[in-house]
Amino acid sequence: MLSAKMEDYLKAIYRLERDGDPPISPSTIAEMLDVTAPTVTSMVEKLADRGLIEREKYKGVRTTPEGETVALEIIRHHRLLETFLTEQLGYDWAEVHEEAEVLEHHISEEFERRVAAVLDEPEFDPHGDPIPSDSLDPIDDESATALSEHSEGGRVEVARVRDRDPDELTYLSDAGITPGTVLTVEEVAPIGMVTVQLESGASVSLPDHIADAIQVRAPETHGEDGVSQA
């Protein structure tokens, strides 16, 4: 049986693999998990001994198929729990991350199935992140780019918000910026600020680090038959 710490490491390595090019360096893992390099080295040895990761000398690590499956299971638990907390227990999306971090390691597979059934097998969590299926196939992330990469005049739709800071999530929701919100980039200031306009006409200024965390795609349009088109 794996410890919660082992599962946290596998989840972190998998997420880093999705966001960049594996192998993942120990220093990158240490930064993400806010731990020391020796701590990472020790855990990497344990995970490698169990066949959950592979090490490339002087380069870093990557998950094995078995390690990826464990990571996907924990991610599924986490995102289902976030969705359950918001939809069934009235939590705000800014509150659910820390709760799910604790609970994700301790729910049974039967509980997971019942939560998924109550929620009608959701595909996305409250932040727009895709929820792995019960078959734990690799996540098929749709193509999305950071809001900060778009030029003035660009019209985009929020796909997901990767920020987990409760205050910043509250700020975004109060401003009306959540997954599905359509925005127009109004101004990209050289001082590290992106100003966007909502369809309501309201303007919101976002620091670069928040604009980096907002993943966007081309907004959907609707044809004459009412069917949404990308």
- Its CATH architecture, for the domain 4-63, is Orthogonal Bundle (1.10)
Q: How do the domains of the chain map onto residue ranges?
A: 4-63, 145-221
Q: What percent of the chain has pLDDT over 90?
A: 88
Q: What is the pLDDT of residue 139?
A: 82
- The DSSP bridge partners found for residue 195 are 187, 205
pLDDT in tens, 2-28: 999 999 999 999 999 988 889 999 999
Average pLDDT over residues 95-111: 96
Supply the mean pLDDT for the chain: 93
CATH topology of domain 145-221: SH3 type barrels. (2.30.30)
Q: What's the rounded Cα separation, in Å, for the pair 42 and 65?
A: 21
Choice between 131 and 229, residue whose per-residue pLDDT is larger:
131
- pLDDT greater than 80 at residue 201: yes
pLDDT for the residue numbered 140: 74
Task: Give the mean pLDDT of 156-180.
Answer: 94
Confidence (pLDDT) at 230:
44
In angstroms, rounded to a whole number, what is the distance separating the alpha carbons of residues 4 and 107?
A: 12
The DSSP bridge pattern shows strands 155-161 and 203-207 to be unpaired
CA–CA gap between residue 180 and residue 106 (Å, rounded): 31
pLDDT at 228: 46
Whether the pLDDT of residue 115 is over 90: the answer is yes
Length of the chain, in residues: 230
Q: For position 142, what pLDDT does the model report?
A: 65
Residue carrying the six token digits 């795609």: 217
Q: Extract the tokens encoding 124.
A: 């996305």
